[in-house]
Structure 1
């Protein structure tokens, strides 16, 4: 029996809808000739990515999922969660590696930390 995540962070549902529209729009074009049939793979890949990609927050770990594969990172290995200049959040690990958290941004970072049970703190020397 698998445990359920405390919080699931995903991309906007608009990406999923746009991928569906693009897939249906590409069907007549791809149906015109077999040479254009591979065009269906592009909106299909975006559809699968929009459905699958995201970050699941558990009490003891984070699970980051992408189009293919994913990563499981225990909270004990994460030293810092920090947004970049574009607002995307990455996790700095104790071994120096960095993992970008899919669909987590500066706005929903407090929700991720609250779901994990870890306190929100600002870096030294900054006002919050």
Structure 2
């Protein structure tokens, strides 16, 4: 099972996390109990580094901060575009799985990685 594509957030997304850490540092230094706010930038950094989508020959795996969800190509009923051009996998059982780093503009690449299992609809010609 070779991974065809591993899609993650850009490491540039860690810059706001560093800024957040610098901003909460004075508050965290105020008392030992306030130091717990340092967990916020740590959780944000973990999310940036972990969240993503893996596409391989057998299916798609979405990764979140705490877990992952795998959808085999055979279980895929379709892909739905929701608000802000975000994508969701629709399973044959009627469930939906969010694709966290992919947008509607990524549909042609995803269709290519699927090996022809679904096509991207073309806009009607005038």
Q: Same fold (TM over 0.5)?
A: yes
Residue of structure 2 in register with 1:62 after alignment: 60
Over 4 Å off, 4+ runs: none
For 1:52 and 1:41, the matched residues in 2 are separated by 16
Greater alpha carbon shift after TM alignment, 18-27 vs 33-42: 18-27
**SS of the residue 1:120 aligns to:** coil
Residue of structure 2 in register with 1:21 after alignment: 19
CA deviation after TM superposition for structure 1 residue 15, in Å:
1.9
Matches for 1:67-82 after TM superposition, within 5 Å: 67-82=65-80
1:2-54 CA distance string (max 9 Å, x none): x4421112223332222133224433331221121111111111110000001
Residue of structure 2 in register with 1:127 after alignment: 124
Query: 36, 39, 56: which is aligned to 1:41?
Result: 39
TM-score (norm 2): 0.86
TM-score (norm 1): 0.85
- Say what the alpha-carbon RMSD is for the aligned residues: 1.9
Q: Give structure 2 stretches of 5+ with no counterpart.
A: none
Q: Give structure 1 stretches of 5+ with no counterpart.
A: none
